[in-house]
Each structure stands twice: as C-alpha cells, then as structure tokens.
Amino acid sequence: MQDHAKPKMQPPIAYQNGSFLETNRVSIPLQDAGFLWGATVADRIRTFRGKLFRLEDHIARFRENCERAYIHFPESDETLFEISHRLVNENYDSHELSLTWLATPGISTGFASSDDMRIPTRIAYTQPILPISYKKLLTDGATLITTPASLDVDPSIKHRSRLAWWIAQQGIRETDPRAEPLFVDLGSDTVLETPTANLLLVLDGTLTSPAKGTVLEGISLKVVEELCAAMSIPFEQRRVLRGELKSASEAILTNTTYCLAGVARIDEHIFPHSRPMLSSLQSAWRALVESDLMCEKSVQR
C-alpha cells in the first residue's frame, strides 16, 4: 500500500461516507438515528510504533456488532483496512494514535418507519494518545465503586448508547473525582465491567474474567488470554459474584488505550500495592508490541 506521508502542521483527516476530509468538517445530521436514537456502534484501535494493533480483530468485532445492531455497513473489510491505514499514515506525528470507527443507521430517505430506505453513516477518525492522561492510573491504580448495571443493551456490542453510564460516572465523581463505576447486576449479584475497561481478578492464582456474554468481548481481554496461555498462567471466564471481590489478591483493568492497569481499591477493599500478576502481564505486553506502554514519542516505524 502506498504510504501517504502527511506534511507537518497539516490538519488531521477523517473519513465519512466514502470521502476523506478534515476532521473538523465531520458531522452527524440531527435527523440521523445515531443522534435521535443513540443507535451508534463504535470500535477503537490504537497504534504501537505507528502501526495499528490487532486491526483485524477490531474490524471483525466492529462488523459483527453492526450486524447485531441492525446497522448496514457497505464497505468491505479490505476497504476498511485501507481507510484505517491511510488515516494513520497521514495523521501519525509525534504521538501514538487511536483510530475510532463509528456507524449509525443514518437518515431515512423515505417514510419514517422505512428503515430499509436508510443510508448508513460511516465515520473514522484519529486522535493522539497522550500518556499523561493515564500516567496516574498506571502508577497509583484505579478506584472502583460498585454500581447497579442499568443499561439494557447486549453487553457484547460496543456502542455509544451510554447515558446510564454517564449518569453513574458523574454521580460517583461528585464524591470521588477519580473513581469509576464497576457495574454489578443486582439481580444475580454478578460483577460485570467498568464503562471503559474489562475487569480481571486474581482468584486462587487464576486470572478470572466475568463470563462471556455478560461483558464486552474486549480485544485487549483476548490479548491477555493469549499472553496467559503463552506464560502458563491459569485463565478462565466465569460468573464472578460481588462477594468474591474481597478474595482477590489483585484486580486489573484492561482496555485499548493503556492496555493494563492495576486497581487500588474497590469500594472499601484496598488491594496490596504489590501486583506481581500485573507486572508479569505488562512485561509480556511490552515484549509483544516492542514498545514502552508509556512512550509518548514515535519511534522508527
């Protein structure tokens, strides 16, 4: 593929519905179902050393989620790969990038109830990853507060219908500005995830994730599972009850941006500052991507 080198100081570009344009010109019409209904599917990929990490996995999940959400996406996977690489090649400068894909059902071109007349909205754009934004999380660990899960959407779909998450997050931060919600299904007392990350617990030496189908099928979570297999670390996904949180020797968050971060406290339970499982996984992740997870500057690609 041709390398589209971006001249310095040129505004970053984005993709929308078949065209490349400056990011500040991207818009979603007020009549779009993504705005009216919150019907927006999203996926986000990051770079290491200027190269997109696990792009195929992210695109596969994005495609599957669009299908589950009844959002038609006309571009082929090959086209998505080409668009993704072009955006990174043109926008990559002094920081690593995150690349976000969005899809909505779009605007109906016929009667309001005629969903088959909709032309979907497809958007992709990049943003710089600034390690300073998560440095304190990596050094101090996260604070989580268990919160009732109230968003009744298939948890396996990565979407933007997040009003309930927003309300929960803002309510918690009124008392603790650095805390994040840890959602719990009160009906079953089952631990789920946070608004931005999958949760992992070390229980009796086994790295344990809440059961499949109850949380987002995180690409970073998949990477952790693969690292565990390579390092002979026991790993399982199963139902985790809230009462087990205090039995965990470590709690870990995993997401696309910071990859892995420790948890310092859940509710009133404080975890030890020593996190051997986290340290081992972070070392393995660094070796996998050949990059320091806190590195701000780009290196030779």
Q: Are residues 21 and 121 in the same domain?
A: yes
CATH classification of the domain holding 41? 3.30.470.10
pLDDT in tens, 66-111: 999 999 889 999 999 999 999 999 999 989 999 999 999 998 665 5
Q: What is the mean pLDDT of residues 121-130?
A: 97
Cα Dmax for the chain: 60
For 75, the 3-state DSSP assignment is coil
Whether the per-residue pLDDT at 5 is higher than 60: the answer is no
Decide if 129 contacts 98 (C-beta within 8 A). yes
Read off the pLDDT band of 159 (50, 70, 90). Answer: confident
| Residue linked to tokens 């990011």 | 23
What is the SS3 string spanning 192-252? CCCCCCEEEEEECCEEEEECCCCCCCCHHHHHHHHHHHHHCCCEEEECCEHHHHHHCCEEE
Read off the pLDDT band of 155 (50, 70, 90). Answer: confident
Where helices occur in 121-208 by DSSP H, the ranges are 135-140, 163-173
Tokens of residue 116, six digits? 């088959």
Residue where a domain terminates, one of 80, 104, 129: 129
> Is 226 inside a domain boundary?
yes
Instruction: Tell me the C-alpha distance between 173 and 143, whole Å.
Output: 11
Angle, CA of 155, 190 and 185, to the nearest 5°: 60
Q: Are residues 168 and 107 in the same domain?
A: no
Read off the pLDDT band of 214 (50, 70, 90). Answer: very high
What is the predicted pLDDT for the residue at 292? 83
Q: Are residues 194 and 231 in the same domain?
A: yes
> Is 173 inside a domain boundary?
yes
> Is 26 inside a domain boundary?
yes
Q: Are residues 109 and 154 in the same domain?
A: no
Amino acid (one-letter) located at 1: M
Residue where a domain terminates, one of 95, 129, 163: 129
Decide if 12 contacts 94 (C-beta within 8 A). no
> Is 297 inside a domain boundary?
no
| Residue linked to tokens 């690409």 | 219
Instruction: Tell me the C-alpha distance between 281 and 265, whole Å.
Output: 20
Q: E strands of the chain, at which residues?
A: 13-16, 19-22, 41-48, 51-52, 97-108, 118-128, 142-148, 179-185, 190-191, 198-203, 206-210, 235-238, 250-254, 261-266, 269-270
Q: Are residues 95 and 164 in the same domain?
A: no
Query: What is the domain extent for residue 21?
Result: 13-129
Number of domains in the chain: 2
> Is 7 inside a domain boundary?
no
Q: Are residues 178 and 259 in the same domain?
A: yes
DSSP state of 272: P
Find the Cα–Cα–Cα–Cα dihedral 230, 232, 233, 235, rounded to 10°. Answer: 80
Q: Are residues 285 and 139 in the same domain?
A: yes
Q: Are residues 141 and 284 in the same domain?
A: yes
Q: What is the mean pLDDT of residues 210-236?
A: 97
Q: Are residues 141 and 268 in the same domain?
A: yes
Lowest mean pLDDT among 149-158, 244-253, 281-290: 149-158
What is the predicted pLDDT for the residue at 153? 66
Residue where a domain terminates, one of 79, 106, 129: 129
Q: What is the mean pLDDT of residues 38-46?
A: 95
| Exposure class string for 193-229: b at 16+ Cβ within 10 A, else e | bbbbbbbbbbbeeebbbbeeebbbbbbbbebbbebbe
Whether the per-residue pLDDT at 176 is higher than 70: the answer is yes
Q: Are residues 140 and 255 in the same domain?
A: yes
> Is 245 inside a domain boundary?
yes
CATH classification of the domain holding 213? 3.20.10.10
What is the predicted pLDDT for the residue at 98? 97
Q: Are residues 28 and 42 in the same domain?
A: yes
Instruction: Tell me the C-alpha distance between 44 and 46, whole Å.
Output: 7
| Exposure class string for 121-134: b at 16+ Cβ within 10 A, else e | bbbbbbeebebeeb
> Is 283 inside a domain boundary?
yes
> Is 250 inside a domain boundary?
yes
Q: Are residues 114 and 156 in the same domain?
A: no
